[in-house]
Amino acid sequence: MGLSIRAYAAHRGVSHTSVRKAIASGRLTPEADGTIDPVKADRAWVRNADPSKARDSQKLKAVPEAAVAAVGDTLREHGFPAPVTSGGMTFLQAKTANEVMKAQERRILLQKLKGEVVERARAEMLMFRLAREERDAWVSWPARVAALLAAELTSQPGSAITVEPALVQRILEAHVRSHLESLSEIRTALARGDCSV
Query: Which of 95, 114, 133 corresponds to the end of one domain?
Result: 114
| 188 within domain boundaries | yes
Helix residue spans in the chain (DSSP H) = 5-12, 16-25, 38-48, 65-77, 91-114, 120-154, 165-192
Confidence bin at 2 (pLDDT 50/70/90): confident
Question: By residue range, what is the domain housing residue 147?
Answer: 120-192
- Segment 78-129, tens digit of pLDDT: 777 665 555 555 667 677 777 888 888 898 888 888 888 888 888 889 988 9
Whether the predicted pLDDT of 60 surpasses 60 = no
pLDDT at 141 over 90: yes
DSSP codes joined into one string, 100-122: HHHHHHHHHHHHHHHTS---HHH
What interhelical angle do 5-12 and 38-48 show, nearest 10? 60
Average pLDDT of the residues in 1-9? 87
Residue 197 domain-assigned (yes or no): no
What is the Cα Rg of the chain in Å?
36
Residue 178, domain member (yes or no): yes
* Prediction pTM value: 0.39
Q: Are residues 27 and 86 in the same domain?
A: no
Q: Is it the case that residue 137 has pLDDT exceeding 70?
A: yes
Q: What torsion, rounded to 10 degrees, do the Cα atoms 184, 188, 190, 195 define?
A: -90
Checking if the pLDDT of 58 tops 50, the result is: no
Higher pLDDT, 101 or 149: 149
Percent of the chain clearing pLDDT 70 (strictly above): 74
Task: Decide: residue 146, CB within 10 A, 0-12 exposed, 13-18 middle, 19+ buried.
Answer: buried
130 and 173 both lie in a single domain:
yes
Residues 57 and 62: their CA atoms lie apart, in Å, by: 11
At 139 the pLDDT is: 92
Among the candidates 85, 114, 143, a domain finishes at 114
Helix (H, G, I), strand (E, B) or coil at 62: strand
Domain count, the chain: 3
Decide: 57 and 90 in contact? Cβ < 8 Å.
Answer: yes
Contact 48, 27 (CB under 8 A): yes
Are residues 44 and 61 in contact, defined by beta-carbon separation less than 8 angstroms?
no
| Band of pLDDT at residue 138, cut at 50, 70 and 90 | very high
Same domain, 85 and 40: no
